[in-house]
Amino acid sequence: MARTRQTTARTTSKRTSEPTEQPTAPTTEPTQPPTTEPTQPPTAEPPTAEPPTAEPPTAEPPTTEPPTTEKPTAEEPTTEQPPAPAAPPSPEPPTRPAPAVPRPAPFRIAVLSDVHGNALAIEAVRHALKAARPDAVIVAGDHALNGPDPAAAIDVIRELEAAGALVVQGNTDIAVADFDYTAAFPWMADSLPDTFRFAAEWAHEAIGPERVDWLRRLPAERRLRVDDLLVLGCHASPGSQTAGFDPALDANVILERVSRTDARIVACGHTHLPEIRDLGWKMIVNAGSAGYVFDGDPTASWALITIDGDEVSAEIRRAEFDTLAVSNALSARGLPGDVYRAATVRTGKLVR
């Protein structure tokens, strides 16, 4: 169509050139030179010349036609719009936020228990805690009875408490503070050996009234929440300062005792036997004893719990101390049963 319209434009241009040739016609008529010819040329001929002037509007369509030829060119950009690969920036955003989301650091909890008046042992554990730098500390009771230096041991524990440690009361703390032996040793209510009474009375005097009041005020349990995970700190088991998780305990009894709390982790002591039991839905972390252990390793045991998102793990750690010095101090004290206590510290096994 564009070609045909261009040819018509050429024909109209030829027509506009023809009126210049028509003035020759009046000169060919010699008979009417004076009057008719001078008047006719201006009147008759101009109308003949005017049609060509009217024809230029016919020539205008070609001027209007170019826009028609431009339409395909206008359509072409529509087909050329694929340059809209500005879309690629859309996949980039998902890659940008990924490194911007930091993974929370694991939360670590140190658990220690059953110091039993052993100042050298708790000092060794405190030194280990400074190196491990846990986020929280739980001290699970039995702070004073049996050891040769209960006042110094309690002072170290209270310094840990001042720094944020969660401290609970153990069953022997009841005996030392208030001489309630049935509450402290219900399994020996009818036959408590005198060695227990003598050791409790000696410790009561050794620590003094202010520390005795501190022992009395201690709670039986403390709780720590890490995001949506609950940690229970207790001495023996949830709801009890005397019913612990002995390794030989029937599995049904263990499930019954651990089910007394909603806590995912139960941090405890009491048995003096360090142990970690992962039951799947719950974990029992028994730190053993940081001063009077029974598993045959004469060191101070403690536990380190790591909470990393939904994953929970725990490990038993050991801190060495001068067992011979503590054993000699117990022997030198001279209370009934101190010979056996000294042997227990020296060997890491319960000697009676």
- List of domains in the chain: 107-347 (3.60.21.10)
Residue 57: pLDDT band by 50, 70, 90 thresholds?
A: very low
Using alpha carbons, select from 134, 128, 152, 153 the residue that is nearest to residue 142: 153
The answer to whether the beta carbons of residues 1 and 28 sit under 8 Å apart is: no
Least confident of 66-80, 223-237, 246-260, 310-324: 66-80
Q: Is the pLDDT of residue 36 over 90?
A: no
Terminal alpha carbon distance of the chain? 119
Distance CA 92, CA 97 (A): 9
Q: What is the pLDDT of residue 92?
A: 55
Task: Pick the range with the lowest mean pLDDT from 25-39, 68-82, 177-191, 255-269.
Answer: 25-39
Per-residue pLDDT of 286-303, as tens digits, reads: 999 999 999 999 999 999
Nearest CA among 110, 145, 125 for reference residue 344 = 145
Q: Which of the two residues, 5 and 184, has the higher pLDDT score?
A: 184
Ranges of H-type helices in the chain: 2-17, 24-27, 36-43, 45-54, 56-79, 92-95, 97-100, 119-132, 150-162, 171-178, 181-184, 194-217, 251-258, 323-333, 338-347
Report which residue type is found at 188.
M
Residues 304 and 108 sit within 8 Å (Cβ to Cβ)? yes
Q: What is the mean pLDDT of residues 227-253?
A: 96
pLDDT class of 82 with cuts at 50, 70, 90: low
Rg (Cα) of the chain, in Å, rounded?
Answer: 52
Find out whether 171 and 143 touch, Cβ atoms under 8 Å.
Answer: no
Q: If you average pLDDT over residues 54-68, what whole number do you get?
A: 47
The DSSP code sequence of 106-136 is: PEEEEEE---TT-HHHHHHHHHHHHHH--SE
pLDDT at 98: 53
Tokens of 268: 């405890």
Residue 53 has pLDDT above 70, yes or no: no
Q: Is the pLDDT of residue 38 over 80?
A: no
The answer to whether the CB of 245 falls within 8 A of the CB of 275 is yes
Beta bridge partners of 260: none
Tokens of 143: 């702070």
CB–CB of 273/98 below 8 Å? no
pLDDT in tens, 99-114: 555 667 899 999 999 9
347's CB contacts (< 8 A; 6+ apart) are 296, 298
Residue 122 has pLDDT above 60, yes or no: yes
Nearest to 308 by CA among 105, 101, 98: 105
The answer, yes or no, to whether residue 95 has pLDDT greater than 70, is no
Mean of the per-residue pLDDT values for the chain?
Answer: 82
Q: Which pLDDT value is given to residue 223? A: 98
- Of 20-24, 202-206, 310-314, give the lowest mean pLDDT range: 20-24
319 vs 62 pLDDT, higher one: 319
Collapsed DSSP state (helix, strand, coil) of residue 315? strand
**pLDDT tens column, 123-148:** 999 999 999 999 999 999 999 999 99
Tokens of 149: 């230096």
Q: CA 352, CA 349: separation in Å to the nearest integer?
A: 10
Average pLDDT over residues 168-177: 98
Provide the 3-class DSSP secondary structure of residue 277: strand
> For the residues 29-53, what does the mean pLDDT come to?
44
Percent share of the chain, pLDDT over 70: 71
What is the value of pTM for the model shown?
0.72
Residue 256 has pLDDT above 60, yes or no: yes
Is the pLDDT at 13 greater than 90, yes or no? no
Q: Which two tokens stand for residue 215?
A: 């022992």
Q: What percent of the chain has pLDDT over 90?
A: 68
Are the C-beta atoms of residues 318 and 293 closer than 8 Å to each other?
no
pLDDT for 84 equals 56
For residue 150, count other CB atoms closer than 10 A to its CB: 27
Is it the case that residue 62 has pLDDT exceeding 90?
A: no
Are 292 and 118 a contacting pair, CB within 8 Å? Answer: yes
Q: Tell me phi and psi for residue 91, to 5 degrees.
A: -70, -20
